[in-house]
Amino acid sequence: MSQAEHDAFQRFFRDHSRDPNKTPEVMRCLSAFFWKAEQGTYSLSPGWQVAADRIRAAISAAIGQPVAGVELVPVNDIFGGLMDPKSYGWPQWRDLSRQPLWRALKQARLEDLGRSSTPAFRDQYWDSLHQNLLNGLYEAARGDIFAAHPTLGEHDLRWIVLRDNLWLNLGDSLLFFVGFSALGDGSAAAGFQPLIRLLPEAIPLCEKQSEPGHWLVLTG
């Protein structure tokens, strides 16, 4: 990840946006993500540094639903001490599988984005995010998690579930924000800004099935 990827996405947004004048604002919102990708470490904030009210408000604004509470899950305790890589007893297993953030975002916002854009438009933006930012973010987050869990393996079921949902939670959050911004839908884009500001510090994972309206959130 380098300045070249940053500049490539900036050019892409400017050339494919209905309002190219929004480019500097969008790039400022994404600057923390490009920095993390360039540094090669995601470095989430400790839970005590991120206010629960702020997390609730950010998730609620993005999904359009009230959020009653959050449970902070530190990176070094994400697997709850379970050592069996095939264990379905991992507490977050069913929550991550059933209602991760990316699924809640699609349920709430995909129709809105679809009314104003084409599948080709969304595919173009996903490809540009993937090539210029998401790959670097994934490697940064992966490095942090494997450093915190040295015995974790690439084929560990817990990692596969976490990996896939982290990727989509980050990717879809960025795609909706960038997509609405590119379409000139300032109101919808503004609804994602609290989440975009939160994600460099804490990543909402999923809604708890046992407590609807309560979310698990990954922190440092």
pLDDT one-digit tens code per residue, 16-70: 888 899 999 999 999 999 999 999 999 999 999 999 999 999 999 999 999 999 9
What lies within 8 Å, CB to CB, of 39 at 6+ separation is: 140
CB under 8 A, 24+ apart: contacts of 49-54: 49/201, 50/198, 50/201, 50/202, 50/219, 54/194, 54/198
Angle, vertex CA 150, rays to CA 149 and CA 151, nearest 5: 95
Percent with pLDDT over 70 in the chain: 91
Residue 102 contacts residue 168 (beta carbons within 8 Å): yes
Name the DSSP letter for residue 76: G
Mean pLDDT of 9-15: 91
Residue 108 contacts residue 114 (beta carbons within 8 Å): no
pLDDT band of residue 159 (cuts 50, 70, 90) is confident
Average pLDDT score over the chain? 88
- What span, in angstroms and rounded, lies between the C-alpha atoms of 4 and 87? 42
Percent with pLDDT over 90 in the chain: 57
pLDDT of residue 218 exceeding 50: yes
pLDDT of residue 81 exceeding 50: no
Mean pLDDT of 82-111: 70
pLDDT of residue 86 exceeding 60: no
More confident residue, 82 or 213: 213
Which range of residues forms the domain containing residue 25?
3-219
Alpha helices in the chain (DSSP H): 3-16, 23-39, 52-63, 93-98, 101-116, 119-129, 135-148, 157-182, 186-198
Tokens standing for residue 214: 């309560």
Mean pLDDT of 133-153: 92
Number of independent structural domains in the chain:
1
pLDDT band of residue 85 (cuts 50, 70, 90) is very low
pLDDT of residue 197 exceeding 90: yes
The b/e string for 94-113 (b: 16+ C-beta within 10 A; e otherwise) is: ebbeebbbbbbbeeebeebb
- What span, in angstroms and rounded, lies between the C-alpha atoms of 163 and 138? 8
What is residue 125's predicted lDDT score, i.e. its pLDDT? 85
pLDDT band of residue 121 (cuts 50, 70, 90) is confident
Tokens standing for residue 82: 């379970």
